[in-house]
Structure 1
Amino acid sequence: MESNDSTAGELPPPLADRHLFCFGCGYSAMRLGRELLAAGARVSGTSRTASGVDRLEKLGIAAHVFDGSTALPAAAFEGVTDVLSSIPPGTGGDDGVLTRHNTILADLPTLCWTALLSTTGVYGDTRGAWIDESAPTDPRTPGNERRVACEERWLAWGCTHGKPVQIFRLPGIYGPHRSPFARLLAGDARRIVKPGQVFNRIHVDDIVAALLLAMQVPAAGPVFHLADDEPAPADEVLTHAAALLGLPPPPAVPYHAADLPPMARHFYEECKRLSNGRARQELGFVPRYPTYREGLAAILAEEAAGQ
């Protein structure tokens, strides 16, 4: 179900005139919100807790408590031009964002862009093959099965109501204060080695850059990979991070002897290589951090500067 034709030919407002509403204003969404605020736009969002709301409001984001169970009042969406959801569906499969706000969002006359952050886990294991967005989904966990269903519901909602919807499938996200450096400095990092296993990753600032581009072309897609250019083994990335800190790499631990918890074990059981060609072609996306080397160097510099 790939149709955003309802918005074809319509030019969205400039970023300074936009009002973004983020369901789940976490790591990536908060970074996007900061960029939009700096451009003169308005940003609203949700947190599960009152303390989270306080933190968002200190950044200039109009915030609301939302735990997925009770709809926000329609007044919270006044003037909203863009909606981003990064809240995964619950264990029962319910997508609290769309279930609770279906009609409110459908009736928004100003809405010109809707986006869902999803995961490349929906593909399962492709045995290291390069894949693009046309690859069939093959989720191997209940959580990823729910993600596929959630994507389908959002795309169907867009078709039903004539609203543009874009899905962004993300691999492992890294960035400032979310990288191997803290674990290496604390002596907690484990260098698990599984020959042949590689995966893509994406720097948070490349996610932000791609989303800003996508807001200008809401009819594109509707499904995109946001990924770097070089899938690489996790142990190689950790070794490079250690070298940047002037530390030796942690001792190698063979995957079969690592005694990993279920989620981590599942991570190592999947191997895929992601093409970002559609994002490049349709959005004009060029990763600022095409490999982990550039990304880790930038993180280290930003953290050293205390930002």
Structure 2
Amino acid sequence: MTQPRLFCFGLGYTGLRLARAAQAKGWRVAGTCRDASKAIALRREGIATFLFDGRSPLSDAAEALAGTTHLLCAVPPDAESDPVLRLHSKNIAALSATLTWLGLLSSTGIYGDCGGAWIDEARPPRPATDDNRRRLAAERDWLALGGQLARPVSVLRLPGIYGPQGRSPIDALLAGRARRIVKPGQIFNRIHVDDLVAVLAAAMERDCSGDRNGPHLYNVCDDEPAPADEVLVYAAHLLGMQPPPAEPFDTAALSDFARHFYAESRRIRNDRIKQELGVMLRYPSYREGLHAIAGAAAGTAPRDRGLRAGG
């Protein structure tokens, strides 16, 4: 078997964790970042890293992408379009001899406000912001490219991603920057980054023979949507701290972005990642996830999962 090669446009919080999980299983890994010093550090880890800012193409795209079997786009669209497709769709199309899978990180924001209702992937998208309209356009463009190449495209629609290393309510509380905004009836969805990596691994390994260019849309979230203030109170309990004082949404001083964030409410179903990909969530609710983050400093956090070794 040919050794698989993952190329990730966007070695950020999620992309880098996926790359390291793949590398640990014997895959060749490569990807992009914006910062030259970060690129140097990642190259020392054995991750072939190339600079990409979304405005200019890779300096030698053919060389950077050569041999790629699995390609993930974790770069969001900009005001014009999806920068990866805008600058490199022809280079990706030229990988037809090796490419077996395409993936895109999208957003559950493409559904718009659902009034707190339970929804699944059959829900017609109704994005309410320019950012989410661009996300939906990017989904369609990536699916079209997959159809052109007769390759499967997995579109992962993501809520808020949390995890260790500064990305949780625990970190916000310890840093003294947590705010407890209370809006009755408001529901948010979330996913622990390690469960997201597990879903990505399962999607990459899925046997799509006979359904190679069909749309594979996945809502990636845990089992328990919950109000943000409930999650914050629980995190404070784990730390033995008093939670911040409640701030009513109607009178809280919030940015326009944050205020819109609270304007949408939905409960996301995740049945498809379980039924089609066979994923069992390690963190089915925020409680298990926050416990793992609290224990990470003691070396008790679980390791990344998934991805068979090549060879």
TM-score for both structures, normalised by structure 2 = 0.90
Shift of 1:186: 2.6
Corresponding residue for 1:63?
Answer: 49
- How many pairs are equivalent? 292
Q: Deviations over 1:60-86 (max 9, x none)?
A: 210000112333220111111000001
Please say if 1:156 is aligned against 2:130: no
Distance 2:158 2:244 in 1: 28
Secondary structure class of the residue paired with 1:269? coil
Corresponding residue for 1:76?
Answer: 64
Identity of aligned residues (%): 53
Unaligned runs of 5+ in 1: 1-12
Q: Is the contact made by 2:292 and 2:300 (CA closer than 8 Å) also made in structure 1?
A: no
Please say if 1:190 is aligned against 2:192: no
Relative to structure 1, the CA distance from residue 188 to residue 69 in structure 2 (aligned partners, 3 Å threshold; closer, same or farther) is closer
Q: Is the contact made by 1:113 and 1:218 (CA closer than 8 Å) also made in structure 2?
A: no
Please say if 1:253 is aligned against 2:242: no
Shift of 1:181: 1.6
Relative to structure 1, the CA distance from residue 266 to residue 59 in structure 2 (aligned partners, 3 Å threshold; closer, same or farther) is farther
Corresponding residue for 1:298?
Answer: 292
Corresponding residue for 1:39?
Answer: 25
User: What does 1:198-277 align with in structure 2 at a 5 Å threshold?
Assistant: 198-217=187-206, 219=208, 222-277=216-271
Bigger fraction of residues in helix? 1
Unaligned runs of 5+ in 2: 302-311
Distance 1:264 1:303 in 2: 30
Q: Is the contact made by 1:122 and 1:145 (CA closer than 8 Å) also made in structure 2?
A: yes
Q: Deviations over 1:103-142 (max 9, x none)?
A: 2111211100100000000011000111111101111111
Shift of 1:162: 1.4
Distance 1:23 1:129 in 2: 33
Distance 1:102 1:186 in 2: 42
Shift of 1:306: 9.7
Secondary structure class of the residue paired with 1:150? helix
Q: Is the contact made by 1:165 and 1:218 (CA closer than 8 Å) also made in structure 2?
A: no
Detail structure 1 runs of 4+ shifted over 4 Å in the superposition: none
User: What does 1:20-31 align with in structure 2 at a 5 Å threshold?
Assistant: 20-31=6-17
Distance 2:148 2:19 in 1: 28
Distance 1:257 1:152 in 2: 39
Secondary structure class of the residue paired with 2:8? strand
Distance 1:90 1:233 in 2: 29
Corresponding residue for 2:305?
Answer: none
Distance 1:260 1:218 in 2: 46
Corresponding residue for 2:110?
Answer: 122
Distance 1:117 1:56 in 2: 22
Q: Is the contact made by 2:155 and 2:218 (CA closer than 8 Å) also made in structure 1?
A: yes
Distance 1:218 1:204 in 2: 24
Distance 1:149 1:218 in 2: 26
Distance 1:123 1:197 in 2: 16
Please say if 1:279 is aligned against 2:277: no
Q: Is the contact made by 1:106 and 1:163 (CA closer than 8 Å) also made in structure 2?
A: no
Relative to structure 1, the CA distance from residue 241 to residue 253 in structure 2 (aligned partners, 3 Å threshold; closer, same or farther) is same
Structure 2: which amino acid aligns with 1:129?
A: A
Distance 1:95 1:285 in 2: 29
